[in-house]
Amino acid sequence: MGAAPDLADGDVGKQPFLGVTSSVRGFEWRERVSGHGRAIASAISQRHELPELLGRVLAARNVAIDDVPVFLEPSLKALMPDPSELRDMDQAAARLADAVIAGETVAIFGDYDVDGACSSALVARFLSHHGLRPRIYIPDRLREGYGPNAPAIGELVKQGASLIVTVDCGTTSYEPLAHAKKLGAEVIVIDHHQSDETLPEAHSIINPNRQDDVSGQGHLCAAGVVFLTMVAVARELRRRNYYKEGNTEHALMGDLDLVALATVCDVVPLEGLNRAYVNKGLQVMRQRHNVGLRALFDTAGLDQTPTPYHLGYILGPRINAGGRIGDSGLGARLLSLPNPHEAAKIAETLDRLNKERKAIETETLDQAMAEAEMLLDGEPELPIILLGAENWHKGVVGLVASRLTDRFQRPSCVLSWTKDGASGSVSGTGSLRSVSGVDIGGAVRAAVAAGLLLKGGGHAMAAGLTVAREKVEELKVFLATELRASSHEARAAAALEVDGALTPSAANQELISLLDRAGPYGQGNPQPVFAFPAHRVRYAKVVGDAHVRATIEAGDGSRLDAIAFRAAGQPLGDLLLEANGGMPLHVCGTLRRDTWGGRNRIELTIQDAADPRRQG
C-alpha cells in the first residue's frame, strides 16, 4: 500500500494527489486527510489501539478523538435523543395515544418515494399492532403530484378518518390542511423538509427542520422522525397504563430495517442518530422478519448479507418504481403487510416496473445529455441546467436530473410538460438536484415567494416544483441569478478526495473488514476512495446498462476486477476503453465485496481516471 506525499499544512490543496490536476471527469484529486489531520489520525490510532489506515479514515471524516468509540459502535442508547426535544412531539404523542385507546379511524398520507413508503409503513405497523385499521394513501405522482391535496383529504374524511397523519410531506400544505380542519379532521404532520417561517394549520407539526425547532435532529429523514414519534407514543401509552390491561407493546426495534432503508435511500447525512439507525437496521434486516422486504430480496435474487449498497441500489429503486411509473401505493403496502403470498406478488410487480423504469430513464437521459451538452457549449458557466420536454415521463425526471448534476457538476432541473385538458394551460412538473454548497431548496422556496411557481419545496440538495409554461423563462433567469455565485464556487472547488493509494494485492478481504469498522458509509460519511497509480487497463468492455467492466493490473502483475457504472458513452468510459490493452492510467474508486452468484472477491467501483501523461 502506498501513500500520497506528506504535505505541510500550508501546502495542503496546492499539490494534487498523484499530480492529477484535471481528471477525465474534470476533477483535481486531493488527499482527504490534511497535514493536521495526519497528526489526529496518529493520535486516534495510538489512543484507541487501531491500525494506522483506520485512524486516517476516521480523522479524514472529522471524527474527534473522544468520539471514536461511539462512531465505531453507534448505538441508539448513546445517540437517540429524548423525543420530547422535538417541537410538538408531546402533543402529537398524546393525540395518537388517544386515537389508539379510542380505536379511531386514522389515515396515513405519505409521499411516493422510499422515505414516504417506509414512513407510512412504520405508522401503519404500529397502529395495526394496537388494533387499529389505518388507511394508507399515497398520491399518484402523475395526477396528483407531491403532498396532500384537498380532494384526497376530503375522500379520507368521507371514509371516516377523524385523524390524518402526513408523513414525509405536509410542512408547506397550507390549503389542504386548512381543508381538513374545515371538514372536522385533525392533522398531525411528521416531516423533515425545509419549512417557511409560517406553518400551516395543524394539530401538530413534528419537523426538526421547522425554523423554531432546536432539537438538532435536522439530519434525519422522515422515517427517522416517525420512529422517534412512535417511541413517544409508546411511552405515552405506558404512562397511561395501557399495556397493563393485557395489551402488548409493538416491537419498535424490529422496524429499524425500514428506518435504515429510508435513511440510506433519502441520502441524508450518516451522522449522529442516523448512523445508529442504519447500523442497527441492517442487523434487523439480516433476520428478514419484514415480509415485504424478504419478498423483495428474493425477487431481486439477493441472498447475501445486506449492505447500504443493496439498500440504495437494489431495494430502493424497486420500491420507488411503483411511484415513478406504476401504482404509487405499492411500496408502502408491500412494507406494511403480513401476507407472504401478497408480498411476493407486489415484489414481482415492482421488479417488472423497475425494468420498465430503466428503459424509460435511459431514453430520456440520452436526450437530456445531448441537450445539456449543447446548452453548455454555448454558455459554459451556466449556473443551473434547466431542460424540459412533453414526452419526458414525470417519474424519471428526478433520476435524470441527478445524472446531469453528476456529469456536469452543477444543479439541474428537469421538467415534464403536460397540458390540462380542461383549461388548455401547460405546466411543467420538475425535479431538481444540486451539488454540495448550492442550496437548491432555498432557491425554489424563493421562487415560490416571488410568484414564479405554482408550488415547490425540498432540501438543499433536492427539490421539486411546478411551473406554468409562460413563467419558465423568467424562472430560468431567477434561478441563474440566485445560484450563480454558489454554483461557480462549487465548480471551482470541485475535487475528488482520496484516502490513499493502493495496489491490487493490498485490496484484500482484511482491508475491507478494517474499513467496515468505520461504516456504514453514505452521505456525510463518504466511502473511502483509493487511487491505483499508473495501472494498466485490460479486458475493458461495455456490459449491461451502459457499464464498463475492466481489469486493472499493477507492475508486479497483481490484478483487480473493476467496473465503472453508467460510464459507456461518457468521458470516463471512453478513456477506459481507449486504454484497453495495457495503457497505464491513474484509476480511482471505492472497494466492495462482490458475492454475486456465490463469488467472494473484491471489486473496484471506478469513480474517475486520469492519463498520467497529461498531468502536471
For residue 9, pLDDT over 60 is answered with: no
For every residue of 497-557, which 3-state class applies, written as one string?
EECEECCHHHCCHHHHHHHHCCCCCECCECCCCEEEEEEEEEEEEEECCCEEEEEEECCCC
- One-letter amino acid at 462 equals A
d(CA 433, CA 443): 12
DSSP class of 328: T
pLDDT more than 90, % of the chain: 86
CB 529 within 8 A of CB 607: yes
CB 489 within 8 A of CB 458: no
For residue 349, pLDDT over 90 is answered with: yes
CA 333, 337, 341, 343 torsion: positive or negative?
Answer: positive
530-543 and 584-594 strand pairing: antiparallel
Q: What is the mean pLDDT of residues 79-91?
A: 98
CATH 3.10.310.30 matches 379-492: yes
Give the pLDDT score at 616: 59
Task: For residue 233, give the nearest of 108, 104, 144, 123 by alpha carbon.
Answer: 123
d(CA 184, CA 156): 12
CB 338 within 8 A of CB 344: no
Domain boundaries for CATH 2.40.50.140 within the chain:
9-32+499-614
For residue 323, pLDDT over 50 is answered with: yes
For residue 247, pLDDT over 50 is answered with: yes
For residue 369, pLDDT over 60 is answered with: yes
448 in helix, strand or coil? helix
CB 532 within 8 A of CB 547: no
Give the pLDDT score at 598: 63
307 in helix, strand or coil? coil
For residue 30, pLDDT over 50 is answered with: yes
Kindly report the average pLDDT of the chain as a whole number: 93
Cα of 522 vs its chain's centroid, Å: 9
DSSP class of 379: -
**Which CATH number does the domain 9-32+499-614 belong to among 3.40.1190.10, 2.40.50.140, 3.30.565.10, 2.60.40.10?**
2.40.50.140
d(CA 73, CA 523): 18
How far is CA 388 from each of CA 140, 361, 371, 447, rounded to the nearest angstrom?
A: 21, 14, 10, 18
Higher pLDDT, 26 or 599: 26
For residue 10, pLDDT over 60 is answered with: no
Residues 162-178 have pLDDT tens digits of: 999 999 999 999 999 99
Give the pLDDT score at 582: 84
Q: Name the strand (E) or helix (H) holding 292.
A: helix 291-300
pLDDT more than 70, % of the chain: 97
Domain boundaries for CATH 3.90.1640.30 within the chain:
79-352
CB 413 within 8 A of CB 432: yes
Cell 440566485 maps to which residue?
Answer: 482
For every residue of 50-62, which 3-state class applies, written as one string?
CCHHHHHHHHHCC
Cell 397502529 maps to which residue?
Answer: 127
Domain boundaries for CATH 3.10.310.30 within the chain:
379-492
For residue 1, pLDDT over 50 is answered with: no
Helix axes 222-239, 273-286, angle to 10 degrees: 80
What are the residues whose beta carbons fall under 8 Å from the beta carbon of 511, sequence distance 6 or more?
A: 53, 502, 591, 602
Per-residue pLDDT band at 326 (split at 50, 70, 90): confident
How far is CA 475 from each of CA 151, 375, 398, 518, 532, rounded to the nearest angstrom?
A: 29, 17, 18, 43, 44
Q: Name the strand (E) or helix (H) holding 8.
A: none
Question: Is residue 338 exposed (0-12), middle (13-18) or buried (19+ Cβ within 10 Å)?
Answer: exposed
Count, residues in the chain: 616
CA 110, 114, 117, 119 torsion: positive or negative?
Answer: negative
Cell 409560517 maps to which residue?
Answer: 198
**Which CATH number does the domain 79-352 belong to among 3.30.70.141, 3.90.1640.30, 3.10.180.10, 3.30.930.10?**
3.90.1640.30
d(CA 232, CA 287): 26
Model confidence, pTM: 0.89
